[in-house]
Amino acid sequence: MAQGSGEKTEKASDKKRKDVKKKGETHKSMDLCSSVMLLVTFGAIYIGYEGFIRSMRSLSGAMLDKSFIVERAANLTSKTVVAYYKDILFAVLPIVLPFFAVCMVAGALVHVAQTGPMFITEKLKPDFKKINPISGFKRIFSMRAVVDLIKAVAKVIIIAVVAKGQLEAGVQKFLTLMYVDVGGAFLTVLSTCLSMGILIGVVLVAFAAADMLYQWWRFEKDIMMTKQEVKEEHKQLEGNPQTKGRIRSIQRKMSAARMMKNVPDSTVVVTNPDHYAVALRYRENEDTAPVVVAKGVDFLAQRIKKIANENKVAIVENKPVARALYAACEVGDEIPPELYQAVADILIYVYRLNK
């Protein structure tokens, strides 16, 4: 059975790919961006562990100092509470901002690596289809939504399994927390969270790599074209056959008109005599060899002969030479060496006639 004309069976052309990219549509895995950002953040904290611990210890020591707490409690007002939280904020920001910056840079690099550099304004335009309840209902129950739901559930399961494994492995550490000071407990919890975060990040990156392949497959499937779309695109790129024929006809007429202007300056017109006519120009001090300035068959040949007669240009009948010149030369070409002798004989004949 023949495939329906509306069925997408053809791979997307280069033009189609450029068009969809201009609209901001390309294959990318947001899961890959988020998982790499998570892994890089925990990795950065792990690398800068000692500095991070010193900063957090200093901050927590200052905030939990008894004299500091008593002083703040004695002067507790709405203004002092706001000031207290501002102090905490400005103390925490220098500690977390470097890790936040590393996280953002990693996310941006992964995004650019997937899509290439893109600046799209198309996505900024309001799309009222997105707030259409019917369209929204269709999106909720689409196959894409089902796949996204399955991925979300899979990620939750992955995180839960990894977290459970890490907590079970560190249960002995947590039982000893009641016997250590606040600083020691903080270090134990932080160490466990770091190892858990890095492991979760590694597993999610592997999961996201598979998602990236799926996103590429889905994108390629979405941008496939029907046979009719391919035909329409070819028409746009190459032009309608009728239009192309008219353009070629106009070009031939313009070329013939330019060619006819050269006939009055020619030295001789060699004819078939009825079907072929080739106009040659030879200026002794300018041309290294005779040059074809016009040529034609049938109607064009008759026009060349007519213009030659009107401008008193010699016309010589020589069937083999006329055919050979027409076949071997284009307008503007010098005659080939193998025709030198035959054309020289014709030119000598013309010069004698003129004398």
**Which pLDDT belongs to residue 205?**
92
Inter-residue contact 321 to 339 (CB < 8 Å): yes
**Residue 243 pLDDT > 70, yes or no?**
no
**Which pLDDT belongs to residue 202?**
92
* Cis amide leading into 133 (omega within 30): no
**Residue 251 pLDDT > 80, yes or no?**
no
**Which pLDDT belongs to residue 355?**
67
Whole-angstrom distance, CA of residue 1 vs CA of residue 265:
66
Sign of CA dihedral 342, 347, 353, 355: negative
pLDDT digits (tens, 9 = 90+) for 6-47: 687 888 888 888 888 777 778 788 888 889 999 998 888 888
316: CB partners within 8 A, 6+ apart: 268, 269, 270, 271, 346, 349, 350
**Domain range list for the chain:** 19-234, 263-354
Pick the CATH number of 263-354 from 3.40.50.720, 3.30.390.30, 3.40.1690.10, 3.40.50.410: 3.40.1690.10
The secondary structure of 142-160 as a DSSP string is: SHHHHHHHHHHHHHHHHHH
- Candidate from 132-136, 211-215, 238-242, 333-337 with smallest mean pLDDT: 132-136
**Which pLDDT belongs to residue 140?**
60
- Confidence category of residue 1, pLDDT binned at 50, 70, 90: very low
- Confidence category of residue 74, pLDDT binned at 50, 70, 90: low
The secondary structure of 41-72 as a DSSP string is: HHHHHHHTHHHHHHHHHHHHHHHT-HHHHHHH
Phi, psi of 324, deg, nearest 5: -65, -40
Environment class of residue 243 by beta-carbon count within 10 Å: exposed (0-12), middle (13-18) or buried (19+)?
exposed
